[in-house]
Structure 1
Amino acid sequence: MSLLTGLPDDLPWTRQQAFLLLDGATISDLPARLKQISPSVSTYALYDQPPFAALRDLSPLLVAIERADEPLARFFLQHAAQEWGVLLFSCAPMHSVGEHLCKLLSVELPAGQSALLRLADAAVVHALYASGDQRLFGPLTCVVTADCVNDAWHIHRLRQAECPVLPVPYCLNPEQNAALDQVDRRRALLDLDTHLLKHFPRFHVGETLIQRWPTLQQMETQASALGLSSRSGLFNFANLLALLDSRDIAQHPQIHHLFHTPSLQSPGERIALAVDVAQRWASQRQRP
């Protein structure tokens, strides 16, 4: 049974105010859906301010909840494995929590550029708070995120009586930046898992994501070794293996030759040609 079907036991429900931060860019018509679940719901839209006001319909929404068994909490839990929400606890009112989170919408990378953070993305929040920087908490005391890859909850707690002031803009350190890069890589593998389950279910076997994850990582390693470092290159390589019904292109000399013979073609051009060849072979196999 998945651990994500129930919330962790040691959360401060009776001592502090609980909030959900939900991703309006991922959940279609999020305000309307929340009103359906709880007609009296009150929300705080993080994008309801410059320079994000034009994106308000896609804004992360902060929602106050009281109990772990109420409809909004159940809604969050039912979709925890999709990782498009975060559970927060604080002794401060909603507007104070919202104002703090707004300071983290735009951060500064180690090289000096600005970047937007997807603050309602559980993996992004976990990567950020796993650094242990207490300044990230502000009025928050506890940050809870779901991890669908490891089928686990991550709990980050404020460890100091007084939280240090959060600088604006907040500057990511190199370790945080690297962790967020890994979140992008992880998201690509999650999308690849969904793609393969939809289009090649007989090839992409394993009842749970945990069981399928090593295969996804292996595909990424193999694709990278062939110079296929982009998302499209990874997906095309996975399509190739599925069409060949093989985990190793070395078993197919013609395909192997395409990648290991000197050529003016780029890796992307080679994988496109290889997929075309594999599609023709797959079509021939299916003919009576």
Structure 2
Amino acid sequence: MTLLTSLPADLPWGKHQALLLLDGATVSDLPQRLKQMSPGATTVALYDCPSFTDLRDISPVLAAVQSIDEPLLQFYLQHAHEEWAVLLFSADSVHAVAQHLRKLLTVELPEGLPVFLRLADAAVARALFSSGDQRLFGPLAGVVTSDGVAADWQHHQPRLAECPDLPTPYRLSAEQNSALDQADQRRVLIELDAHLLKHFPEFHRGATVAQRWPVLEQLGAEASSLGLNSQSELFYYANVMAWLNGSPLEQHPHLNRLLHTPSLQPIGERIALAADMAHDWANQRGRP
């Protein structure tokens, strides 16, 4: 099975309604693109409710899929490795599924603080529906998530014929919260992968994300050890290493001092400066 061209063979096509939940924050102009690909499809924007009205333009959208051959599903398959959509199956209507999913847009951390969930993120859905809590399924007969790193699929199904009611607000367990933290970190590395492929293809080699993943994890670990915690700081650090063509910082004393010597200047400012210095060094060496 190839991730980009085929789905698992045991999915309940014809038995249950197939639905795609797509991330409007990742796919630009999502409602318009859905109309172009599947003009007659029933769609529901999850943020089309009082609590999320101001965010409707970036809402996750639930769209009914009638056939495995239709353009919308093929569009999903072409981009499944990017993990910004989830395939669902349900015997209930699109609107009933949307009402259930809206209960999970805002959940509580174990200590009770509210947080938003990106439900259309495959890694987020995987963290939730693999946790064993049957209340999460509600009207869902199956949740299919793509794993772009392993180039594989996971099919999550309820163990019970009728799932218990989902409480609102739903409170995450410590295990779920940890899994969601890992999903967030994973998403950052996937976005870093896309950044490096676009801007530094000669540095960031490997035919698949699985082959490139060890480098991404190493960059993340090295950035964290320097106290770089935000995504932008990680990207700056990756830029530094790409401009240096992977040579250790120790071979560049000016950069090494900038990043390792205690300073009143915030580390975020220093890594941005380091990226500019590494760029200048690369240009002087004749690198593109």
TM-score, normalised on structure 1? 0.92
Alpha-carbon distance between aligned partners in 2 of 1:38 and 1:276, rounded to the nearest angstrom: 45
1:52-63 matches, within 5 Å, as 52-63=52-63
Task: Quickly say closer, same or farther: Cα 1:247–1:68, change in 2 above 3 A.
Answer: farther
1:15-94 matches, within 5 Å, as 15-94=15-94
Between Structure 1 and Structure 2, how many residues are aligned? 287
Give the drift of 1:262: 4.3
- C-alpha distance after superposition, 1:172-202 (max 9, x if no partner): 1111111111122111111211111122111
Which residue is 1:271 aligned to? 271
Counterpart code for 1:187: R
Which residue is 1:253 aligned to? 253
Contact 2:3 2:77 in 1 (8 A): no
Task: Quickly say closer, same or farther: Cα 1:159–1:233, change in 2 above 3 A.
Answer: same
Task: Quickly say closer, same or farther: Cα 1:279–1:35, change in 2 above 3 A.
Answer: closer
Counterpart code for 2:27: I
Contact 1:5 1:78 in 2 (8 A): yes
Give the drift of 1:232: 2.2
Alpha-carbon distance between aligned partners in 2 of 1:268 and 1:28, rounded to the nearest angstrom: 29
Task: Quickly say closer, same or farther: Cα 1:31–1:276, change in 2 above 3 A.
Answer: closer
| Ranges in structure 1 where 5+ consecutive residues have no aligned partner | none
Alpha-carbon distance between aligned partners in 1 of 2:207 and 2:285, rounded to the nearest angstrom: 27
Give the drift of 1:133: 0.8
1:1-288 matches, within 5 Å, as 2-286=2-286
Contact 1:4 1:146 in 2 (8 A): no
Task: Quickly say closer, same or farther: Cα 1:103–1:267, change in 2 above 3 A.
Answer: same
Counterpart code for 1:131: S
User: 4+ residue stretches of structure 1 with deviation over 6 A?
Assistant: none
Alpha-carbon distance between aligned partners in 2 of 1:230 and 1:115, rounded to the nearest angstrom: 18
Contact 2:147 2:153 in 1 (8 A): yes
Counterpart code for 2:241: L
Contact 1:240 1:274 in 2 (8 A): yes
Task: Quickly say closer, same or farther: Cα 1:113–1:198, change in 2 above 3 A.
Answer: same
Give the drift of 1:247: 4.2
Counterpart code for 2:169: P
Contact 1:240 1:278 in 2 (8 A): yes
Q: Secondary structure at the match of 1:5?
A: coil
Give the drift of 1:58: 2.4
Alpha-carbon distance between aligned partners in 2 of 1:226 and 1:167, rounded to the nearest angstrom: 41
Task: Quickly say closer, same or farther: Cα 1:275–1:37, change in 2 above 3 A.
Answer: closer
Identity %: 61
Worse overlay, 92-101 or 53-62: 53-62
Alpha-carbon distance between aligned partners in 2 of 1:60 and 1:272, rounded to the nearest angstrom: 33
Contact 2:3 2:81 in 1 (8 A): no
Alpha-carbon distance between aligned partners in 2 of 1:198 and 1:184, rounded to the nearest angstrom: 21
Contact 2:42 2:94 in 1 (8 A): no
Counterpart code for 2:18: A
Task: Quickly say closer, same or farther: Cα 1:103–1:221, change in 2 above 3 A.
Answer: same
Alpha-carbon distance between aligned partners in 1 of 2:22 and 2:275, rounded to the nearest angstrom: 38
Alpha-carbon distance between aligned partners in 2 of 1:42 and 1:81, rounded to the nearest angstrom: 25
Alpha-carbon distance between aligned partners in 1 of 2:7 and 2:22, rounded to the nearest angstrom: 16
| Ranges in structure 2 where 5+ consecutive residues have no aligned partner | none
Alpha-carbon distance between aligned partners in 2 of 1:92 and 1:41, rounded to the nearest angstrom: 16
Give the drift of 1:219: 0.8
Q: Secondary structure at the match of 1:171?
A: coil
RMSD after superposition? 1.9
